[in-house]
Structure 1
Amino acid sequence: MTNEARVVLVTGGARGIGRGLVQFLADRGWQVAFCDVDREQGEWLQERLGDQVRYFQADVASEAEVAGMIRAATDWHGRLDAVINNAGLAGPESGPVEELDLAVWQRRLDVNLTGPFLVTKHAVPHLRKNGGAVVNIASTRALQSEPDTEAYAATKGGIVALTHALAMSLGPEIRVNCISPGWIDTRAWQDMEEKAPPLSESDHRQHPAGRVGEPRDIASLAAFLISEEAGFITGQNYVVDGGMTRKMIYED
């Protein structure tokens, strides 16, 4: 089966890293179904990329919406070969833990962690038919933190653990891996009204790789992990951060 006939589902595909995933995979011959709560941006991206992509509106925190979206996505071409769980509430700061509202905490968990579980749950019967693959998008914040980011960090750490648990439960028919991005500059993919100022030389220089990341850095690895070439890889978390989590930093 060639990539031209294969279908991948990307959640949270209308903006940022998600948009980069949709465009990268479509450029490489995949049929790309994607969902997002942002109907305006989702329909714009579908129109821009053409018949090779198909947008579905869905909130991944709602099981009913997820189930309907999976049915529609699989009906599109009659199959589903891969899922990339990218949807999530960005912006890691949620304030001091003693002031963190339970509703804010719960909404983070519902979207960032329960969402990937629900999408995978409903996709599994279809993925099993084709020896499919799942890629979950976590964050380097699963491994290190700044103050006042408890809700976000907890969800991303949960995704890493969910990944290896799913890999054990779903193998050998379905492989499950995880990508933990570091600083990925998605500003050009957010349709901002005013053009964002360029990143500084020091922004790039502080990375051992010499630059801040781009959406294609994540998309290229995801494309590999859902391909047949990655058939011996499952249960892994790949940190894509330009080396920052390996850099020893102390204040002078």
Structure 2
Amino acid sequence: MQTLCSKNRWALITGALGGIGRALVNEFTNAGYKIVATDINDDFDMPENIHFVQLDLEKLVIDEVYANEFYYKVNKITHGTGISTLVNNAAVQILANTRVITRKQWSTSFNVNLSAPFFLSQMFINDLESNSGSIVNISSIHATQTKKQFVAYATTKAALSAMTRNMVLDIGSRVRVNAIEPAAIATDMLKAGFIGKEELYQRLEMFHPLGRVGTPNEVAKLAVFLSSENAGFVQGACISASGGIQGCLSDPM
């Protein structure tokens, strides 16, 4: 599938300043890719060889002029060669009960978590085809199993996984599209939620059959693999990275 060596290939990574995002940047860099990193935040402290572009994904969905401007920025950075890998990693996790979630919360969830990955994929499809490229969507275990107050987040992730499977029917063989569905990942954000709750964190770890939660690097390494020629026959797959928790019942026994 991939005919160019990785050192001549560009990876576009959204949500690059988050825990998984930073791991993605590091792992794709280690694999020899050149990186265009995006995030809604502009607290940029990445290495100088990373090309950072601030990006508001919700605005990209709503404002076509803004979206086109972003495309031309990326095209200029890649000197017209275009990207060969798109990693749709950025997401918002708005927690609210079905009874009280607002229209704004619902629409923001869908704009960032689902519509932005779709329109970015559409926007760069010609570049990806020219480079025999790959799209990797970072979905979630919530695509299939979720819990209270996750109705918006879980619905967007279920749709993102479905989009991954369905998009390949239109795209065909020139671009591979796959998704990763991680369970709990030990990002700084996750750990911050358990400060002073060490026993609960240990219970979370032990609930996973592997006895621990995942690491951002494990998700990132899987994304690099899915973008490589070694995964040349992997198409339209939604791969669980759950440490086995996907097969567990939440049973008081």
After TM superposition, the score normalised by the length of structure 2 is 0.89
Partner of 1:171: 172
User: Which residue is equivalent to 2:9?
Assistant: 6
Structure-1 separation of matches of 2:227 and 2:87: 9
Question: What residue is the counterpart of 1:152 in the other structure?
Answer: 153
What are the ranges of 5 or more consecutive residues in structure 1 without an aligned counterpart? none
Where do 1:145-224 residues align within 5 Å? 145-187=146-188, 200-224=201-225
Question: Is the contact made by 1:204 and 1:212 (CA closer than 8 Å) also made in structure 2?
Answer: yes
1:18 counterpart = 2:21: yes
- Give 1:118 shift: 1.2
Q: State whether residues 87 and 112 of structure 1, in contact with CA within 8 Å, keep that contact through their aligned partners in structure 2.
A: yes
The share of aligned pairs that are identical, in percent, is 28
Match of 1:36 among 35, 39, 45: 39
Structure 2 SS opposite 1:97:
coil
Give the partner amino acid of 1:123. Answer: F
Q: Distance in 1 between matches of 2:190 and 2:102?
A: 31
Cα distance, 1:99–1:201 mapped onto 2, change above 3 Å:
closer
- 2:63 equivalent to 1:62: no
DSSP 3-state at the match of 2:99 = helix
Cα separation, 2, equivalents of 1:240 and 1:155: 18
Deviations 1:126-170 (A, max 9, x none): 101011110101110111111121111110011011101111111
Question: 1:205 touches 1:211 (CA, 8 Å); kept in 2?
Answer: yes
Q: Give RMSD over aligned pairs.
A: 2.0
Structure 1 range deviating more: 23-32 or 150-159: 23-32
Q: For the residues of structure 1 that align with 2:209 and 2:74, how far apart are their CA atoms?
A: 40
Identify the residue that residue 50 of structure 1 maps to in structure 2.
48
Matching residue of 1:74? 75
Deviation at 1:189, TM superposition (A): 9.8
Count of residue pairs brought into register by the alignment:
241
The structural deviation recorded for 1:196 is 5.4
Which letter maps to 2:107? Answer: Q
Gaps spanning 5+ residues in structure 2: where?
none
Is the 8 Å Cα contact of residues 3 and 29 (structure 1) preserved in structure 2? yes
Corresponding position: 1:130 with 2:131: yes
Contact 1:81 1:132 in 2 (8 A): yes
Instruction: Give the secondary-structure state (helix, strand or coil) at the position aligned to 1:4.
Output: helix
Alpha-carbon spacing, 1:202–1:26, altered in 2? closer, same or farther (3 Å):
same
Alpha-carbon distance between aligned partners in 2 of 1:188 and 1:15, rounded to the nearest angstrom: 8
Instruction: Work out whether residues 13 and 36 of structure 2, in 8 Å CA contact, stay in contact via their aligned partners in 1.
Output: yes
